[in-house]
Amino acid sequence: MSGVTTSARGFNLKSWLAERGVDRLLILLIPAFLAMVAFFIYPTMYGTYLSFHPMDAKSGALGNYRSFFGDPYMRDSIWNTFRIALPVSLINVFAAIPLAVRLRHRVRGKRTINTLLVIPMSLGTVLVAEGLSAYLAPNGWFNRTLLATGIIDQPLQLLHNFWGVMISLLITGFPFAFLLTLSYISGINPKMEEAASTLGATSWQRFRYITFPLLTPGLAITFCLNFVLAFSVFPSANLLGNPAGDSHVLAVAAAQAIVNNYDYSMASAISVITGGFELAVVALVLVMRSRLYSGSTSGGKG
Amino acid sequence: MALSNLSLTIGNGEFVALLGPSGCGKSTALNCLAGLLPLTDGSIFLDDRRIDTLPPERRDFGMVFQNYALFPHLTVRQNIGFGLKIKKVAKAEIERRVSAAINLVQLSLHADKHPSQLSGGQQQRVAIARAIVIEPQVVLMDEPLSNLDAKLRHEMRSEIKRLHRELGLTTVYVTHDQEEALSLADRLVVLHDGKVQQIGTPEDVYMNPTNSFVADFMGYRNMISMDLVAGGSAGKYSLRASGLELTASNLFSGAAAGKVRVAIRPEDLLVENALGNNISCTVKSVEYQGKDFAVEVSTEQGITLHIRTPKKLEVGQSTNLTVPSERVLVYPDSDK
């Protein structure tokens, strides 16, 4: 018998799976999947389950949600969170664009600038918040410099209010937005801009009509990731903000439910509400994104 | 950078091809023309206007890129209309000119598709239409056919030729394919190591390469080291190598008595007996190539020669070759 005939004997798992469009190597994903079930899916589902079983069993399944939305102080935490997360993510994304546009080519000092930008990200929010609480204090370097140069005559109140949280989130979120934007922008074939320039487009027109439209889908993703990070702000709201007042964000509300009242059920309900708003914003952005061109940006044969 | 001493005046409506192997500086030259690379030295004039100080967007050159560089988020129509929109041409006028360009490159059926929905050849047509619809002073083409398969390459070559004939646009075309350059251009510029080797009409460059590099590049596969015997009469120069004697009717500049390089095209070696330039040899290998055979032969002293002939030869067979003395090109030995 020649060696080229296909064996019909026995059961071949690989080809059985292949016929059904399943790659056998997907088996390798099982450990990761199990880890996800154990550390993400189960806790999320358990948290959701908890949120529908309030400490005060008489108030019914929706008791936590009813008391959250019924309490103006709690209800305001939604607005407090949006008020910080939305502007922070928008500023981060839009500030990242010009820098990424400049730094996508070989530029002198590119490494230094990259390193400087990445450091805050690797330090972590707590350390940055700690540092800022000294630096931005009424007798900290920032105010002292402004006072000494005569720009202001009263120290600026940048701590324990909205601005402290805002500044800290800008510092930790911007590098993230910048690196993502840079990688998206580097994926755009520079030949396209060259083609546009031979067709008469100035550098602004090339950005406006070529680079920006091709970058927008990436910016939408960058915004979503930044927004989710900022929306769950906790350390800087506690350390630099006014966690009882205008920095009473959703994460702080959830933590207080546990720390002050030992109410895990209420904390879970607040987390579910947080997740719901995040999902709603992300879904809205992604729907808008799907209406844009989101194919290859490398040009040439697709 | 990779280019020196290129001095060229291109006439209105002329089709000039920059030809050379990869790394010879031909793309550099084109990018300098377009303004995409800075000129370290020298200047470029369009008519009497100096343009090398202008950015690319103000040079009024249309460029066709090797990878097409179409805008993936725009339709065929929007891609082609991009330059006109930037130049703030009136809407109705844009509509009219874009439609005309789409018809010209025969893409009417695909006008509202995106580039990713088109084949390579169709994308190339869009790239060409986009460059010519702005009616540029000069069209620059950077190896526009190198990404297409052989059949499509031939079709697009005729297409480019037709468009040039119909529109009369001054064109600078970069390629490494001598066949492409010969068939398209009015004038060839052969480049090597950033230096101009020869400028001339296709016939001129093909029949009389000025040096052994150009000869080699234009398909003179037989490059033989020989001795030029001193004292030949004008139009009759004797050449010798081990066991091989040839007569040439003219020498290229620099070739003098002593060591020389002799270039002969495979097509110029004829399989027949003749009185002058008779070479006896043995057939070493035969490749069938459709309309003729590519045959490798060897002289008794072991000099290998390549010939092309419609005659069917057998491996091992002895045969006689001849070559007209005017098709024996003699170059100085030093240039290689």
ipTM: 0.82
Nearest CA in chain B to A296: B72
Tell me the per-residue pLDDT of B208-244, one tens digit each, with 9 for 90 and over. Answer: 999 989 999 998 999 998 988 876 666 788 888 888 8
Strand B45-46 versus strand B187-192 pairing type = unpaired
Selecting from A199, A214, A295 the residue whose C-beta is nearest the C-beta of B116 gives: A295
B86 contact residues in A (CB cutoff 8 A): 196, 199-201, 205, 209
> Is B215:B331 a contact under the CB 8 Å cutoff?
yes
> Is B314:B327 a contact under the CB 8 Å cutoff?
no
State which of A9-13, A203-207, B190-194 shows the largest mean pLDDT: A203-207
Task: In whole angstroms, give the CA distance from residue A180 to residue A134.
Answer: 30
Is the predicted pLDDT of residue A182 greater than 50, yes or no? yes
pLDDT of residue B43: 85
A207 contact residues in B (CB cutoff 8 A): none
Band of residue B274 on the pLDDT scale cut at 50, 70, 90 = confident
Is the predicted pLDDT of residue A239 greater than 60, yes or no? yes
Predicted TM-score (pTM) of the model is: 0.81
Band of residue A185 on the pLDDT scale cut at 50, 70, 90 = very high
- Is A201 part of the contact surface with chain B (CB cutoff 8 Å)? yes
The mean pLDDT of B204-208, rounded to a whole number, is 93
pLDDT of residue A36: 95
Which DSSP string corresponds to A205-257?
HHIIIIIHHHHHHHHHHHHHHHHHHHHT--HHHHHTS-TTTTT--HHHHHHHH
- The mean-pLDDT minimum among A103-112, B96-105, B171-180 falls in A103-112
Q: What average pLDDT is seen over chain B? A: 89
Tokens of A123: 């330090």
Superfamily of domain A73-290: MetI-like (1.10.3720.10)
Nearest CA in chain B to A293: B73
pLDDT of residue B238: 85
Please, which residues have CB within 8 angstroms of residue B279's CB and are 6 or more apart in sequence? B244, B246, B269, B299, B305, B320, B321, B322, B323
A194 contact residues in B (CB cutoff 8 A): 34, 36, 56, 63, 65, 69
Q: Which residue has the tokens 């060409």?
A: B128
Handedness of CA B128, B133, B135, B137 (dihedral sign): negative
- Is A200 part of the contact surface with chain B (CB cutoff 8 Å)? yes
Tell me the per-residue pLDDT of B275-296, one tens digit each, with 9 for 90 and over. Answer: 778 888 999 999 998 889 999 9
Architecture, CATH, for domain B222-332: Beta Barrel (2.40)
What is the CATH class of B15-207? Answer: alpha beta
When scoring A191, A198, A212 by the number of chain B Cβ atoms within 10 A, the one with the most, hence best to mutate, is: A198
Nearest CA in chain A to B124: A300
- Is B326 part of the contact surface with chain A (CB cutoff 8 Å)? no
Tell me the per-residue pLDDT of A115-140, one tens digit each, with 9 for 90 and over. Answer: 888 788 788 888 888 889 899 998 89
Q: How many CB pairs under 8 A join A and B?
A: 97
Instruction: Chain A: give the shortest CA distance to residue B90, in Å.
Output: 16
Closest by CA position to B235, among listed B316, B325, B175, B146:
B325
What residues does each domain of chain B span?
15-207, 222-332
pLDDT of residue A302: 37
pLDDT of residue B143: 92
pLDDT of residue B1: 42
- Is B72 part of the contact surface with chain A (CB cutoff 8 Å)? yes
Interface of B with A in 80-139 (CB under 8 A): 82-83, 86-87, 114-116, 120, 123, 130-131, 134
Instruction: Chain B: give the shortest CA distance to residue A211, in Å.
Output: 10
Alpha helices in A39-187 (DSSP H): 42-51, 63-70, 72-103, 110-123, 125-135, 141-148, 162-186
